[in-house]
C-alpha cells in the first residue's frame, strides 16, 4: 500500500484535501521513521482517524442550531426593512433601491424556514424586536431609526456588515453538509452585496464621505462607520495578519489596504450579544 499515492489520488478530486490533512499529512509521513511492524499495523487506524477528523460532519443538531441562529438574524433584517418601508422613512428616490434588499431579506426568511423544516426540525419563531435598541422602551440609541433616514441607513449598514461576518463565522459548522453549506454561502454572498450597496448609498448621499463599499479600518477598534456605539460590531476588523503573515510588514501595504482585503468572522455569541441581543425584546 502506497499511502502517499492514495493521498495524491484524493487530491485530484478534492483539491482541498491537502489543507484538511496538513499537518496531519506530515504526521503520517513521520510514521515511516518508526521502521517497525507496530507502525505498519497501526497505519489503517491512523489513516481512518486522520480522514475522520478531516471530513468529520457536524451533527444535525449543530446544523439546525446554526440555521435557526441565521434565521433569527434574517427575522431582524426582514422586520427592519419592512418597518422602514411602512414608516415612510425611505425617500421616494431610494424606495426601489431599498425594496430590492427588503425582498431579499423576506425571501431569506422563507428559504431558511424551508431548509430547517426539510431537515425534520422546527424553525424558531421570530422574536419581538425594538429597532431603537432600547429593549422595548423605544428610547434606545437609535430612537429616530424610523423617522431619520441617516440613522436608518447607519443601522442598515451595521446589520448587513455584521450579517456577512456572522455567516462567515458559522460556515465551519456546516462543512459536513455541503447542501446546507452551499445554501448558507449563497445567502452570505447576497448579504455582502447588501452591505456594499448600503455603504455606497451612504457615501453618495453624503451621510459619510469617508465610507467605502467595503470595510476599511485604520483604527484599533475596526469600526469605519463613524458611529461609535457600534464599535463592538466591528471588533477584529482592524486585523492585518492573515495566515500568520502581517500584511503591512510583509508586503509594505497600508493598514487600510490590509484590513480592506479580508473580512473577519464573528462567533454566534458575539453576534447575539452585540447585534441581535440589543434589539430583541423577548
User: 248-270, pLDDT tens digit by residue?
Assistant: 999 999 998 999 888 899 888 88
Residue 63 reports pLDDT greater than 60 = yes
Residue 187 reports pLDDT greater than 70 = yes
Contact partners, residue 281, CB within 8 Å, separation at least 6: 127, 128, 129, 130, 135, 136
CATH number of 60-209: 1.20.1260.10
What is the pLDDT at residue 53? 45
Helix axes 95-118, 178-204, angle to 10 degrees: 160
- Taking the model in full, what pTM does it have? 0.76
Q: How far is CA 69 from CA 42, 63, 141, 186, in A?
A: 41, 10, 24, 16
Residue 124 reports pLDDT greater than 90 = yes
Helix axes 149-170, 178-204, angle to 10 degrees: 150
What is the pLDDT at residue 228? 84
Q: What is the pLDDT of residues 211-232, one digit of tens each?
A: 889 888 887 788 888 788 888 8
Range 135-143 average pLDDT? 87
Q: How far is CA 172 from CA 121, 146, 163, 229, 234, in A?
A: 20, 36, 16, 29, 20
- What is the pLDDT confidence band of residue 33, given thresholds at 50, 70 and 90? very low
Among candidates 106, 60, 45, 56, which has minimal Cα distance to 80?
A: 106
Residue 188 reports pLDDT greater than 80 = yes
What is the pLDDT at residue 58? 56
Domain boundaries, the chain: 3-55, 60-209
What is the pLDDT at residue 34? 40
Place of cell 447607519: 154
Write out the chain in H/E/C secondary structure.
CCHHHHHHHHHHHCCCHHHHHCCHHHHHHHHHHHCCHHHHHHHHHHHHHHHHHHHCCCCHHHHHHHHHHHHHHHHHHHHHHHHHHHHCCCCHHHHHHHHHHHHHHHHHHHHHHHHHHHCCCCCCCCCCECCCCCCCCCCCCCCCCCCCHHHHHHHHHHHHHHHHHHHHHHHHHHCCCHHHHHHHHHHHHHHHHHHHHHHHHHHHCCCCCCCCCCCCCCCCCCCCCCCHHHHHHHCCCCCCEECCEEHHHHHCCCHHHHHHCCCCCCCHHHHHHHHHHHHECC
What is the pLDDT at residue 55? 42
Range 35-57 average pLDDT? 44
Amino acid at each position: 500500500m502506497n499511502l502517499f499515492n492514495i493521498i495524491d489520488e484524493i487530491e485530484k478530486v478534492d483539491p482541498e484535501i491537502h489543507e484538511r490533512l496538513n499537518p496531519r499529512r506530515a504526521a503520517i509521513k513521520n510514521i515511516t521513521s518508526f521502521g517497525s511492524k507496530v507502525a505498519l499495523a497501526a497505519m489503517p487506524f491512523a489513516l481512518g482517524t486522520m480522514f475522520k477528523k478531516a471530513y468529520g460532519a457536524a451533527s444535525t443538531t449543530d446544523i439546525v442550531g446554526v440555521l435557526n441562529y441565521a434565521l433569527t438574524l434574517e427575522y431582524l433584517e426582514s422586520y427592519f426593512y419592512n418597518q422602514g418601508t411602512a414608516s415612510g422613512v425611505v425617500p421616494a428616490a431610494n424606495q426601489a433601491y431599498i425594496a430590492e434588499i427588503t425582498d431579499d431579506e423576506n425571501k431569506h426568511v422563507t428559504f431558511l424556514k424551508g431548509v430547517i423544516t426539510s431537515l425534520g426540525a422546527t424553525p424558531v419563531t421570530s422574536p419581538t424586536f425594538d429597532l431603537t435598541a432600547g429593549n422595548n422602551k423605544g428610547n434606545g440609541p437609535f430612537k429616530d431609526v424610523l423617522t431619520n433616514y441617516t440613522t436608518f441607513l447607519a443601522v442598515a449598514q451595521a446589520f448587513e456588515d455584521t450579517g456577512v461576518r456572522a455567516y462567515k463565522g458559522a460556515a465551519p459548522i456546516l462543512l459536513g453538509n455541503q447542501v446546507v453549506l452551499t445554501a448558507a454561502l449563497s445567502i452570505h454572498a447576497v448579504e455582502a452585496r447588501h452591505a456594499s450597496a448600503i455603504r455606497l448609498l451612504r457615501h453618495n448621499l453624503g451621510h459619510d464621505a469617508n465610507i467605502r463599499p467595503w470595510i476599511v479600518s485604520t483604527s484599533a477598534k475596526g469600526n469605519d462607520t463613524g458611529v461609535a456605539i457600534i464599535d463592538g460590531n466591528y471588533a477584529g476588523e482592524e486585523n492585518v495578519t492573515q495566515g500568520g503573515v502581517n500584511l503591512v510588514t510583509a508586503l509594505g501595504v497600508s493598514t487600510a489596504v490590509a484590513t480592506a482585503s479580508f473580512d473577519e468572522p464573528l462567533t454566534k455569541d458575539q453576534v447575539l450579544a452585540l447585534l441581535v441581543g440589543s434589539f430583541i425584546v423577548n
